[in-house]
Amino acid sequence: MQNNSDIKKFLSELGLNNVLNVEQDLGDGYVKLRISEAERRQALQDIKSVEDILVELLRNSRDAGAKNIFIGTKKIEDKKRYIYFVDDGYGIPPKFHDLIFEARVTSKLENTVKDIYGFHGRGMALFSIKLNTDDIKITFSEEGQGTSIFLNIDLEKVPEKKDQSIFPQIVELDGDINIIGGVNNIPKTLVEFSLQNPGINIYYGTPSQIIMSMRNLLKNLNIFNNFPKFDDWEHLVNYLNDNNKIKVNFFPCLTENYLTLNKITEFFFNMEISERTIQRIIYEEFKPIDPINISNLIHVNKAENKILNEKKADEAVQDLYKHEIYNENEAENISNKYSINKNNKRTKDLVLYDEQKLALRFKDDEISDIIKEINAKIKNIGSKYLVEPGSNIDFKKDNNTIRINIELKEA
């Protein structure tokens, strides 16, 4: 019997190199790899954090030819992280929407990618993400139309860095771009990936900011008005069925009706956005976010060609976080105070509304005054129930939440 090397040589001469690597041909370019081949393509790291999950999703989108990636995120009481991940890549045929989450299923038989994160294309990334999340599902994807994915992550099972509000600083030194400071959180992960893949625009914000930015992208390209606008949901769905090459990130541009836009965000992206916020999106009552790229993040004084002092840059960025800067003059005043160019106010646009640490704006003695008023109310109302506040009272400031615990006792 011929040995394995002889068989491989024979298949190679026939142009069938990959036959021994495939357990099952699933069609349309998708295959299920043999275990040995999946192991050969082993990545450098497994899924251990929310940041790892995003890296794998970003690599998938890059390999699928995406030019624009939209990442909406929401944190629920420091216990869960919702991620809404949308790209304008090749898309996934509906029959593979469940299969791609199985082990060793991939479309990268011929073109495995090796980057700074290791091999990509072993069919284990999405499988591993599914194992480590409470929920991951494709909310929309068709060939040629891109992909929308929703993830629900239990932060006790898959942790993330505690401070997700800080973006790293990007500085230019002797023509080289460098990342300075920051923690290895989601923003830094996105910035690093953006520097490695400058041809991809990554938009990162709250769900409402993401929808706003999808609409704004088409306005910047001057094609927003090229698409029809539907007030009726059924007519919109019929239009999409007849025009099956429209990218999923274009869908929010197909209406100026807040009820219809609300249906789009729910049905295609699994987003829950209030009707009032949807109206604010349509009326452009807040600014869209800019993509994460060098021009939006670099902290360089172009006029004097000096690198910013890192401490001053940190202080300036924190000032931008603490102020709701949508006024051009106020933004410029704060920038000038720290010798930062005007582009730095864009860093503010990248801060998530739900992670601005609003609770930290309250001083402890101010919270104590609030507690005194609550105690007085409890005493007043509780008298008819023979209940009064006890001596054990504490509070905790966490992100946008102030938690006050008041022990009750019988009067």
Task: Please give, one letter per residue, the 3-state secondary structure of 61-101.
Answer: HHHCCCCEEEEEEEEECCCEEEEEEEECCCCCCHHHCCHHH
**Residues β-bridged to residue 141:** 147
| 209-236 per-position pLDDT tens digit | 999 999 999 999 999 999 999 999 999 9
**Residues β-bridged to residue 32:** 24, 105
Instruction: Collect the ranges in the chain with pLDDT lower than 50.
Output: 1-2, 4-5, 7-17, 19, 33, 35-36, 38-41, 43-45, 109, 121-122, 299-314, 317, 320-332, 334-335, 337-351, 353
| Average pLDDT value for the chain | 78
Burial 340-356 (b: 16+ CB within 10 A, else e): bbebbbbbbbbbbebbb
In three-state secondary structure terms, 161 is coil
Distances (CA, A) of 221 to 66, 73, 232, 300, 371: 17, 25, 26, 28, 52
Question: Token match 């040589």: residue?
Answer: 9
Distances (CA, A) of 345 to 85, 211, 318, 365: 25, 21, 11, 32
78 and 151 Cβ atoms separated by less than 8 Å:
no
Percent share of the chain, pLDDT over 70:
67
Alpha-carbon span 54 to 104, nearest angstrom: 19
Helix runs in 21-159, H state only: 35-40, 50-63, 125-132
Q: Looking at the whole model, is its pTM more than 0.75?
A: no
**Residues β-bridged to residue 301:** 306
Question: Which pLDDT does position 24 carry in this prediction?
Answer: 56
Question: Which pLDDT does position 78 carry in this prediction?
Answer: 86
Question: Which pLDDT does position 45 carry in this prediction?
Answer: 47
152 and 75 Cβ atoms separated by less than 8 Å:
no
Question: Which pLDDT does position 84 carry in this prediction?
Answer: 98
Question: Which pLDDT does position 356 carry in this prediction?
Answer: 55
Alpha-carbon span 207 to 75, nearest angstrom: 11
Count CB neighbours of 23 within 10 A: 15
Question: Which pLDDT does position 179 carry in this prediction?
Answer: 79
